[in-house]
């Protein structure tokens, strides 16, 4: 997807940055060039302030997306998702963050197998897209607290370059 945006906005650096942020945040663009988070329309001026670009760049980006059938089909279907990782402690959950080579296969499977084999209930799994996030992280939020035995098994995973429990 990033390659498509790079090519489409190759002569418009500001628009490319805005489009990438729309994608990262799951902001939807409709056929009229309006921008939404879920069903809530967002004002371009506020998006522009948050991204440190002129609101006209935001408007032009959304209109360019709306006028391109391929991009519109992608951006019209985007959805934001609640990430509970930063609130996990208050909810009584542990968060496992694993950094691994994003090209390596089986990282998610290996981590979730360790948890499943040890009876750990998973609440949420989020993996960063390595094209959109320079330091992608696999984040697993679990019910309750991890035992030291399970932490040891996770640390023994060959695919994990680093492991952090929050």
Q: Is the pTM of this model over 0.85?
A: no
For 119: left if phi > 0, alpha if psi spans -120 to 50, otherwise beta; the answer is left
Q: Give the model's confidence band at 106: pLDDT under 50 very low, under 70 low, under 90 confident, else very high.
A: very high
Section 23-33 average pLDDT = 97
Q: How many CB atoms lie within 10 A of CB 57?
A: 19
* The pair of three-digit structure tokens given for residue 53, joined into one six-digit string: 């670009």
DSSP codes, 7-72: HHTTT-HHHHHHHHHHHHHT-EE-TTS-EEETTEE--HHHHHHHHTS-HHHHHHHHHHHHH-HHHH
Q: Give the model's confidence band at 27: pLDDT under 50 very low, under 70 low, under 90 confident, else very high.
A: very high
Location of structure tokens 């790079």:
6
Beta pairing, strands 35-37 & 122-127: unpaired
Location of structure tokens 């663009």:
29
121-132 confidence digits (pLDDT tens): 999 999 999 988
Classified as helix, coil or strand, 137 is coil
pLDDT at 134: 85
Domains and CATH numbers, the chain: 2-75 (no CATH), 85-165 (3.30.70.260)
134-156 confidence digits (pLDDT tens): 899 999 999 999 999 999 999 99
Instruction: Check pLDDT > 90 for residue 103.
Output: no
CA-CA distances (angstroms) from residue 87 to 75, 99, 127, 150, 166?
A: 28, 20, 17, 22, 11
Instruction: Check pLDDT > 90 for residue 99.
Output: yes
Q: What percent of the chain has pLDDT over 90?
A: 90
pLDDT at 2: 83
Instruction: Check pLDDT > 90 for residue 102.
Output: no
Section 107-125 average pLDDT = 97
65-86 confidence digits (pLDDT tens): 999 999 999 999 999 999 999 9
For residues 28 and 35, give the distance between their C-alpha atoms in angstroms, rounded to a whole number. Answer: 6
Section 96-101 average pLDDT = 95
Q: Give the model's confidence band at 1: pLDDT under 50 very low, under 70 low, under 90 confident, else very high.
A: confident
125-133's contacts with Cβ under 8 Å and 24+ in sequence apart are: 126/81, 126/83, 126/85, 130/102, 130/103, 131/1, 131/2, 131/3, 132/2, 132/20, 132/23, 132/24, 133/24
């Amino acid at each position: 997807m990033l390659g498509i945006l790079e090519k489409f906005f190759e002569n418009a650096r500001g628009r490319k940055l805005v489009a990438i942020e729309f994608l990262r945040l799951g902001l939807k663009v409709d056929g009229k060039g309006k921008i939404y988070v879920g069903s809530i329309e967002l004002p371009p001026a506020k998006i522009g302030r948050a991204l440190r670009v002129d609101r006209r760049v935001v408007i032009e980006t959304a209109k360019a997306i709306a006028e391109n059938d391929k991009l519109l089909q992608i951006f019209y279907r985007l959805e934001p998702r609640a990430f509970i990782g930063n609130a996990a402690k208050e909810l009584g959950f542990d968060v496992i963050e694993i950094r691994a080579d994003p090209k390596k296969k089986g990282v998610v499977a290996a981590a979730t197998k360790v948890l499943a084999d040890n009876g750990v209930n998973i609440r949420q799994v989020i993996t960063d897209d390595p094209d959109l996030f320079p330091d992608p992280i696999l984040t697993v939020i679990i019910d309750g607290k991890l035992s030291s035995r399970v932490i040891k098994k996770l640390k023994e995973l060959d695919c994990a370059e680093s492991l952090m429990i929050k």
